Structure 1
Amino acid sequence: MFMNRFFGFCTLGLILAGCSGDYTSRDWSTDYGTDVAGAPSQMQYGGFSDNATDNHRVAVLLPLSGENAATGRAIRTSIEIATLQSAPQSMSVAFYDTARDGAISEALMESPEIVIGPVFAGDARIVRATKPMEMPVLSFTSDATALGDGVMTMNLMPTNSVEAIATEMSADGIKKFIILAPDTASGRLMAGTAKNAASIYNMDLIGIFYYTSGNSDSIKDAAAAASMNAARTAANTRAREILSDILTRERLTAIEKSSLEIQLEKISKSDTLGTIPYDGILFLGGAADTTSIASFLRYYGVAARDARMYGTAMWDGSNITSDITMSGAKFAALPEMSATFTDVYSRVAGNAPSHLAAFGYDAANLAMGMMYSQKSNAAYLLDPSGYVGTDGLFRLMPNGDSQRALRIMQLNGTGDATVVRAAPQNFIRPIYNIEQRHIAPAAAMALESDGINPMDYIRIPERLRGTYKSKTFGANITHPAAPVQQENITVLPEDDSEPIAATDYEPVKLESVDRTYIDSVEISE
């Protein structure tokens, strides 16, 4: 069998056969109202009236066998809890195992009033292509390309998480930042979102570095490139050469010799020289990759004192909160899960609920609220004011996307991150400006830098500056500064009746300076 049916009456363990009933279709997407956002609605947990005689059917599409069965069972448990708590006798719920062939077509043949699930984008696309247009679907995929035409998602969209932390970065005064992301479709999409957010929130993105998740060598290489290790190492070597040459070849005063020796001793204690050209680092991978990259960055001389560190909701619930070396880093996270739901779920399942389980609980209650509401399906599901669920404020959009209000957390190494910015409480003021389906994946981007010239970091006698020089290491400038527009100066006669352009007062155009006359510039590391 592809499915299991059960009715929820308010008592646990009552499992019966399904019942039949006619389903009246309507084009829910065209009667969506034009209401503006206001105070969010509370999810209705229990207390549904059951005056109607018509039966209501809900189909649930989940992976209940195979390698993803644990995910499917967790969501199923939360849906069963919601249904057993709240569903009236006129509502039936049927579960279909998407790990088996034919589950989706069998579910749709039963003409459910609403579908909860599926979990994966491929299944969501099949549902979208084969269901009636008027049938709403509350899926759990975060892939925007699988949404639309009535298929919505309860999941957190990656763009929400990235834009939320980008907003915090801007508020922190970050001017230039780089991205370190896994070389996956999701990683490149999130990097594209951050690139878009940089222009919205007035920051400069000056480098994008990809790595293979879980691969230590790849992570190390990305950290080396992001830290300008090759250029800073070469600059250090050249600075020591210059100082050593002057000390061994030139006639120096006692004061000059002492100064040069102190500088040489200080520079020799480090392998690198120079500062990085950014003040923020955005990690778009999970906690394990992030801590590994951060460790390599510190090895290459880039620590929290040099650039502030930021992450996404992928850090939420991980052991990164106990890493003292990441103290001060900030990340976006869902609000604290409802304690009531957590307690009930834990007692039923024997373990704490995941966010997907919480989304499933809200999906079930949202489905019940829709079926027993006086509003049209679209007007109820797409209420622009949103709903307060077990994971905080959220709303569904006509294009299928979801928007979830996120809070900002800061790591302190104790295992319990600190809330530094609470999640928004309503959608009256728009929370997000970026729509995921309009984002293009971002390509890798070499670090934008003026480079490092050792002469900027050492002090030598002025009389020797013409003899000892150095090239600039690691310069990469692909966006030259825009030329300053010059204006003609106009001289007015005493009566101000007619302006007279005076060529004698026109500014002299300066000749551009070729940097190669000053020093030799190395374009690549």
Structure 2
Amino acid sequence: MAEAATVSQRANIIVRGFVAVTALLVSACSTVVPRGPTVPTGPTKAPPPVARPDVGVEAGIPRDTARNRVALLVPLSGTNAGVGKSLANATMLALLDTKNEQVRITNYDTATGAAAAAQRAVADGAQLILGPLLSEDVRAVAPIARRAGVPVLAFSNDTSVAGDGVYLMGYTPSQSIERVVEFARSRGVTNFGGLVPNALYGTRASTTFLRAVESAGGRVVALQTYDRTASDVSDAVNRMAKDAPFDAVLIADSAGTAATAVPLLRRMSPNAKVLGTELWNSDNGVSARPALNGAWFASVSNGLYRQFAAKYRARFGSAPYRLSSLGYDAVLLTARISRDWKVGAAFPETRLRSGEGYAGIDGPFRFGRDGVAERALEVQEIRNGSTTVVSPAPANFGR
């Protein structure tokens, strides 16, 4: 059965089923002087060293000739350890569920240095890397993996790090914004307003929002940015007053920030629809925020995720992080490809660009030419303390 092992240092490794090789003991030799007349001799010549047999012991983790080696690079210590351990648990659960015996996953802690973790993984023979989680870690890992010819399935949503052997599993804001804008336009929304934070996420969200509204045949009548403070959010909303009313307002931020802004927006546009992004799906309390009642947001489906979460809690005794499904789906993809992946051969990277895509907990997905996962998203509406699907995700990419 496939296993997962955590590697924190090269010399501190625990491997199931490994049988230690006992060192060969060599008996000491002594020289006996024969009895009889003393014969003058020169310096005593030492006997030649006894040749020790090669017992096959190597530094690092042992070779595995029966399975292909996959490395999981996630933070297992530090501030993001909770997410990293949840991802690691999810990959283990996927291996158990698929009963895959052709893949072996070893965990490496990126919190102590992503580049060092990648170098250890490559030295240990990894043929595929799952992770890292953070975009800056992907930037550190990518050139190391590229030189070794090892593809990377990263969990980041920063599209700037994708391509040239790096594939992104993360949920990108652009797809979520495009989907919710398209849905809003189909429900009669014409005039859009936007609130986005002064951050990289906000910059990219703004660009996507403008293009999506134009493509859908609508108009952006107001777009304001803000720093992530309550007072600055309030100021940004007040600046939108001159362009009110709106049919809908996109708030490209967390559900908490949106809940702060909505009461202010209602004063100028009482009937405006509130639109959110994929960030809301990672907030377990999003539906419990009264201010967001009636809001729409697009995300991956939660149907299969709920089943996964129940199984995860039963095995590990705690709830998973929402992002842990990325680890599970990465293993499902790997397990499917492993059917045609000869043990010891390089990972068949061309299979990642399969046009029909792959199925996972988060629904169907496929990688585009840019290496970013394209996902089938649904639109949910927040209604009186719960969420309801108002536009199901397409079953495939043929829509």
Matched-pair contact (CA < 8 Å) for 1:177–1:203: yes
Encode CA deviations 1:419-459: one digit per residue, 9 max, x unaligned.
11100110123xxxxxxxxxxxxxxxxxxxxxxxxxxxxxx
Q: Distance in 2 between matches of 1:195 and 1:315?
A: 20
Indicate whether 1:356 and 2:323 are aligned: yes
- The alpha-carbon deviation at position 278 of structure 1 amounts to 2.8
- The alpha-carbon deviation at position 390 of structure 1 amounts to 0.8
2:48 alignment counterpart: none
2:33 alignment counterpart: none
1:312 partner letter: T
2:62 alignment counterpart: 19
2:336 partner letter: G
Indicate whether 1:423 and 2:393 are aligned: yes
What are the within-5 Å matches in structure 2 for residues 309-328 of structure 1? 309-316=274-281, 317-328=283-294
- The alpha-carbon deviation at position 319 of structure 1 amounts to 2.7
The TM-score with structure 1 as length reference comes to 0.61
1:57 maps to which of 55, 60, 69: 69
2:365 maps to which of 394, 401, 408: 394
Indicate whether 1:71 and 2:83 are aligned: yes
Q: Distance in 2 between matches of 1:296 and 1:195?
A: 23
SS in 2 for 1:355: coil
Relative to structure 1, the CA distance from residue 127 to residue 211 in structure 2 (aligned partners, 3 Å threshold; closer, same or farther) is: same
Indicate whether 1:223 and 2:189 are aligned: no
Q: Distance in 2 between matches of 1:384 and 1:166?
A: 26
2:201 alignment counterpart: 186
Matched-pair contact (CA < 8 Å) for 1:6–1:94: no
Encode CA deviations 1:40-64: one digit per residue, 9 max, x unaligned.
xxxxxxxxxxxxx653111111111
- The alpha-carbon deviation at position 407 of structure 1 amounts to 0.7
- The alpha-carbon deviation at position 384 of structure 1 amounts to 1.3
Relative to structure 1, the CA distance from residue 200 to residue 5 in structure 2 (aligned partners, 3 Å threshold; closer, same or farther) is: farther
1:200 alignment counterpart: 215
2:169 partner letter: M
Q: Distance in 2 between matches of 1:64 and 1:381?
A: 27
2:122 alignment counterpart: 108
Matched-pair contact (CA < 8 Å) for 2:333–2:358: no
Encode CA deviations 1:48-96: one digit per residue, 9 max, x unaligned.
xxxxx65311111111111111111010011111223435445322111
1:329 alignment counterpart: 295
SS in 2 for 1:57: strand
What are the within-5 Å matches in structure 2 for residues 186-265 of structure 1? 186-213=201-228, 215-228=229-242
Indicate whether 1:2 and 2:16 are aligned: no
1:152 alignment counterpart: 167
2:395 partner letter: Q
What are the within-5 Å matches in structure 2 for residues 338-487 of structure 1? 338=304, 339-373=306-340, 377-412=348-383, 414-429=384-399
SS in 2 for 1:343: helix
Q: Distance in 1 between matches of 2:390 and 2:178?
A: 16
Q: Distance in 1 between matches of 2:378 and 2:9?
A: 40
SS in 2 for 1:132: helix
- The alpha-carbon deviation at position 194 of structure 1 amounts to 0.5
2:145 alignment counterpart: 131
Percent of paired sites with the same residue = 28
Q: Distance in 2 between matches of 1:151 and 1:356?
A: 19
SS in 2 for 1:366: helix
2:90 partner letter: S
SS in 2 for 1:131: helix
| Superposition RMSD in Å | 2.3
- The alpha-carbon deviation at position 5 of structure 1 amounts to 6.8
What are the within-5 Å matches in structure 2 for residues 288-299 of structure 1? 288-298=256-266
Q: Distance in 2 between matches of 1:61 and 1:311?
A: 30
Relative to structure 1, the CA distance from residue 418 to residue 169 in structure 2 (aligned partners, 3 Å threshold; closer, same or farther) is: same
Matched-pair contact (CA < 8 Å) for 1:384–1:427: no
Relative to structure 1, the CA distance from residue 220 to residue 367 in structure 2 (aligned partners, 3 Å threshold; closer, same or farther) is: same
2:177 maps to which of 148, 158, 162: 162
Relative to structure 1, the CA distance from residue 54 to residue 309 in structure 2 (aligned partners, 3 Å threshold; closer, same or farther) is: same
The gaps in structure 2 that reach 5 residues or longer are 1-7, 20-60
Q: Distance in 1 between matches of 2:112 and 2:268?
A: 52
- The alpha-carbon deviation at position 191 of structure 1 amounts to 1.2
- The alpha-carbon deviation at position 297 of structure 1 amounts to 2.1
Encode CA deviations 1:116-175: one digit per residue, 9 max, x unaligned.
111111111122212236422111011111111111111111111111111112112221
Matched-pair contact (CA < 8 Å) for 1:337–1:392: no
1:84 maps to which of 96, 105, 113: 96
Matched-pair contact (CA < 8 Å) for 2:103–2:338: no
SS in 1 for 2:396: coil
Q: Distance in 1 between matches of 2:363 and 2:71?
A: 25
Matched-pair contact (CA < 8 Å) for 2:251–2:274: yes
- The alpha-carbon deviation at position 107 of structure 1 amounts to 1.2
Matched-pair contact (CA < 8 Å) for 1:81–1:361: yes
Tell which has more relative contact order, 1 or 2 (C-alpha 8 A, sep 6+). Answer: 1
1:72 partner letter: G
Relative to structure 1, the CA distance from residue 94 to residue 323 in structure 2 (aligned partners, 3 Å threshold; closer, same or farther) is: closer
1:161 partner letter: S
Q: Distance in 1 between matches of 2:298 and 2:13?
A: 38
Encode CA deviations 1:362-420: one digit per residue, 9 max, x unaligned.
112212222322698234322211122111121122321011111111122x2211211
- The alpha-carbon deviation at position 6 of structure 1 amounts to 7.5
Relative to structure 1, the CA distance from residue 294 to residue 130 in structure 2 (aligned partners, 3 Å threshold; closer, same or farther) is: same
SS in 1 for 2:359: strand
Relative to structure 1, the CA distance from residue 318 to residue 91 in structure 2 (aligned partners, 3 Å threshold; closer, same or farther) is: closer
Matched-pair contact (CA < 8 Å) for 2:192–2:221: yes
Relative to structure 1, the CA distance from residue 6 to residue 201 in structure 2 (aligned partners, 3 Å threshold; closer, same or farther) is: farther
Matched-pair contact (CA < 8 Å) for 1:2–1:100: no
Q: Distance in 2 between matches of 1:6 and 1:60?
A: 16
SS in 2 for 1:392: coil
